[in-house]
Structure formats: C-alpha cells, structure tokens
Amino acid sequence: MPIIVNLDVMMAKRKMSLNELSEKVDLTLSNLSILKTGKAKAIRFSTLESICKVLDCQPGDILEYKLK
C-alpha cells in the first residue's frame, strides 16, 4: 500500500509510549496498534485530529504517500 503510517516515528520523537497515547486520545491499544503497524484500512478525521493534538504534529507527519 502506498500510504505509509509514521505514527511510531512521531511517538518516538515525542518519547511517548503506545499506552500513554492510547489514554490521551481515548483509543484502545489494539486499535492504535493496528494503525501503528499500517494494517488499518481507514482512519477517522476525529481520530487523526486527536492524535495530532496530543503529539503536536500535522497529519502529514503521520501519514505519507509513497509512489510505487
């Protein structure tokens, strides 16, 4: 899939664990893990907004489009 999820990179830059992010954005660990590993098929804008707010970043910092 040409959409790359860089959630783990942003979490590392902010020194935040998956557990901590899960609590702050009110998502389950399993849902965040699916997103982090790039296995998610979709993401709600409200979820993306919450993640960006907590990690103090832009959506483009988390999602990246790669040409094949």
| Predicted local distance difference test score (pLDDT) of residue 21 | 97
- 16-33 burial string, b = 16+ CB within 10 Å, else e? eeeeebbeebebeeeebe
Got the DSSP string for 19-47?
Answer: HHHHHHHT--HHHHHHHHTT--S---HHH
Domain regions of the chain by residue span: 3-59
CA distances to 36, 43, 64 from 67, in Å: 20, 20, 10
Average pLDDT, the chain: 94
pTM of the predicted structure, to 2 decimals: 0.90
Superfamily for domain range 3-59: lambda repressor-like DNA-binding domains (1.10.260.40)
Rg value, the chain, Cα: 11
| Predicted local distance difference test score (pLDDT) of residue 1 | 60
